[in-house]
Amino acid sequence: MIERRDLGDADVLIDIAYAGICHSDIDHARATRGKSVYPMVPGHEIAGVVAAIGSKVRRFSVGDRVGVGNLVDSCRECNRCLSGQEQYCESRVLTYNQVGRDGRITEGGYSEKIVVDERFVVRIPDAIPLANAAPLFCAGITLYSPLRHWGAGPGKRVAIIGLGGLGHLGVQISKALGADTTVLELSEAKREDAMRLGAQSFHVTRDPAALLELASSFDLIISTVPANIDLDIYLGLLDVGGTFVNLSIPQKPLSVAAAVLLANRRSLSGTLSGGLPETQEMIDFCAANNISAEVEIIGADQIDDAFERLATGDVRYRFVIDATTIAQATP
């Protein structure tokens, strides 16, 4: 696959080394959200090396280690863009499967190269291997942003629902921020991993007694699971002023009893990933605190199998495509 577009004055050409597989890649590839445009090149967890730069690029040089996440453009003029919250720009352009400002469909990281304006490129610290850095550009920032926004830190009690591709990074980040961190999972299978990654406690949510014991126990709960869960039960775990943050897009609308929100002055919220300044902050924080994604590296000819395994949760904790195998796998 050649680069997405010609190299402009402010553009960076990146030789892709690794591309993470996000659950949303499956949704778009299989058109479960009804917004897919084919042919499609998925991938918004991209790590690689700068191969060339435009004449006006000042932030990067050839050979720099860099990454690209969910966004490759925005209006750059609205208050959201000017405050570094490009993810909420009404004219934001996603890394793949969206019409860019040049009128062409954007193409993502399941590729050998990509061209991106330097504003939407993030520097990767040397401390993080490129394969382990790739998932940080979606999964990492998607957890870092709400943890920072809702004040995870010393004295705060945080629960992460689901120890998967997002959750395993959320636990590490929450612990590094200084919060008391709990993992809520469906079974005991990931208890050892949760504690190794920094959780102070682990609870199986299929045990009603365990949930009753956790009533009013948390200041912040972040749900990473792409499924409908009983929000009334989980909201009941929040203390006064606590917030439940939903990161996924379940198949059915969310439903909650108003009385559960009124009790303890609880809040139900959601969030997109993060803007470019916060993404750079996130990856610098991860490097400083020895945080990275735990990955299974695959070849391009294994993508279909990886999709099937990811759909059933059979990965610990993120599939990453070795981009050097893409040319060999292309018919």
From 316, 318, 303, select the one nearest 42 (Cα to Cα).
Answer: 303
The sign of the torsion formed by the CA atoms of 283, 279, 166, 38 equals: negative
Given a cut of 80, is residue 208 above it in pLDDT?
no
Given a cut of 50, is residue 72 above it in pLDDT?
yes
Q: What percent of the chain has pLDDT over 70?
A: 98
Given a cut of 70, is residue 123 above it in pLDDT?
yes
Query: At 82, which helix (H) or strand (E)?
Result: helix 79-82
Predicted local confidence at residue 331, as pLDDT: 56
Predicted local confidence at residue 212, as pLDDT: 86
Predicted local confidence at residue 248, as pLDDT: 84
* CA separation for the pair 180, 155 (Å, rounded): 7
pLDDT one-digit tens code per residue, 158-176: 999 999 999 999 999 999 9
**113-117 and 65-68 strand pairing:** unpaired
> Amino acid letter at 271?
T
pLDDT one-digit tens code per residue, 8-20: 999 999 999 999 9
Predicted local confidence at residue 299, as pLDDT: 97
pLDDT one-digit tens code per residue, 256-314: 999 999 999 999 999 999 999 999 999 999 999 999 999 999 999 999 999 999 988 89
* CA separation for the pair 321, 331 (Å, rounded): 17
Q: What is the 3-state composition of the chain as percent helix, strand, coil, each rounded to the nearest 5? A: 35, 25, 45
Helix axes 139-149, 276-288, angle to 10 degrees: 100
Question: Tokens representing 152?
Answer: 């995870």
From 121, 101, 106, 104, select the one nearest 43 (Cα to Cα).
Answer: 106
- In the chain, the domains with their CATH numbers are 11-137+293-329 (3.90.180.10), 139-270 (3.40.50.720)
pLDDT one-digit tens code per residue, 143-159: 999 999 999 999 999 99
DSSP string, 126-189: TTS-HHHHGGGGTHHHHHHHHHHHTT-STT-EEEEE--STTHHHHHHHHHHHT-EEEEEESSGG
pLDDT one-digit tens code per residue, 24-71: 999 899 988 778 999 999 999 999 999 999 999 999 999 999 999 999
pTM of the complete model: 0.93
CB 134 within 8 A of CB 20: yes
